[in-house]
Amino acid sequence: MFTPTIEWVNGRIRLIDQTLLPNEFKKIYCDEVSEIWQAIKTLKVRGAPAIGIAAAFGTVLGIWHSTADNYVDFETELKDITDYLSTSRPTAVNLFWALKRMVKVAQENKSLTVPELKERLLAESLDIMSEDQQMSRSIGKYGAGLIENGDNILTHCNAGGLATSDYGTALAVMFSAHEMGKQIHVYADETRPLLQGARLTTWELMRAGIDVTLICDSVAGQVMKEGYIQRVVVGADRIAANGDTANKIGTYMVAVMAQQHGVPFYVAAPTSTVDMSLENGDQIPIEERGAEEVTEGFGQRTAPEGVKVYSPAFDVTPAHLITSIITEKGVINPPFNVNLKRAFL
């Protein structure tokens, strides 16, 4: 049921083109580092853990045909490739985490020959993917413990298998609860402007046999007011040391409404999404997307030509609005500035 989102296949990167879903399921190949950069930039592959894996595979793809015959030249090429991949998207920290990890592995194995270094980096990228699979299932297990039989859960954007290697973060909680036999119902925000909730989250949940209702983003407050929602579970693209969390634009609004209506608000993410170098969410870089995604979404003009557009891809939910952060190491409760540190001990 859980189809791999991204794979290394015979020296090529194979991934699901998420821009085509739900109308077409298609896997595409990337043979050049510029192609995986473009796939990340254009959201063919998306979701913080998934683009971390893509960056690791992209690093291997970039150095695979290196003709360097010594470590110094190889390291120069490696740095050029990782620097280039780091420019694809600025907010999701897993991208930078994976690139730094690849560089560190090379530095720690500089005594190897260049062919051996290439194989070592490939092994590391595959480890990153395998670890993601394990972390996703642990997140699901811990998160499912917070879900009661009969719960209605609201989620925003897509933090499912498509956002990871195959299982998810926020949706992993729902998959795991469902696998335990708990009866749940999910309300999925459509997630403007690119409709990741409508296109991707509903597609994944329906494939898993989980009852799901699609709602417009502006309906989230109303379903909470009417008492339909018992929990909110979302993913994350970067979590600061104090617990402030960057996620898809609109998440902050959902968190405010959840607090207003007394609904627990959970963030599900691996510890690789936690950026302990940032004191708070004000330091998280927020990507801005092109105006055409708002005014000409999916090829149909929906606003007057020439209108000004402001389109941040993410917002930051303050830590005080977050009930708990669900990680592969367990459920982390406030105070986050203390308890997140403990997760790394």
CATH number of the domain enclosing 81: 1.20.120.420
Q: Are residues 128 and 157 in the same domain?
A: no
Q: Are residues 119 and 172 in the same domain?
A: no
Q: Are residues 61 and 193 in the same domain?
A: no
Q: Are residues 128 and 170 in the same domain?
A: no
Residue 171's pLDDT is: 98
Place of tokens 């494939």: 207
Residue 254 is part of a domain; what is its CATH number?
3.40.50.10470
Domain, as residue range, for 18? 6-136
Establish if 57 belongs to a structural domain: yes
Task: Give the residue numbers annotated as catalytic, written as ranges.
Answer: 237
Q: Are residues 337 and 205 in the same domain?
A: yes
Q: Are residues 218 and 194 in the same domain?
A: yes
Distance CA 89, CA 93 (A): 9
234-238-240 Cα angle (round to 5): 110
Q: Are residues 247 and 317 in the same domain?
A: yes
Distance CA 269, CA 266 (A): 10
Rounded to two decimals, the pTM is 0.96
Residues of the chain with pLDDT under 50: none
Establish if 142 belongs to a structural domain: no
pLDDT one-digit tens code per residue, 222-280: 999 999 999 999 999 999 999 999 999 999 999 999 999 999 999 999 999 999 999 99
> What burial class does residue 187 get, using C-beta atoms within 10 Å of its C-beta: 0-12 exposed, 13-18 middle, 19+ buried?
buried
Establish if 160 belongs to a structural domain: yes
Ramachandran class of 334: left when φ > 0, alpha when ψ lies in -120 to 50, beta otherwise: beta
Domains in the chain, number = 2
Establish if 141 belongs to a structural domain: no
Q: Are residues 157 and 119 in the same domain?
A: no
Residue 222's pLDDT is: 98
Residue 264's pLDDT is: 98
- Among candidates 280, 267, 275, which has minimal Cα distance to 325? 267
Residue 2's pLDDT is: 83
Cα radius of gyration (the chain): 20
What is the DSSP pairing of strand 265-268 with strand 245-248? Answer: unpaired
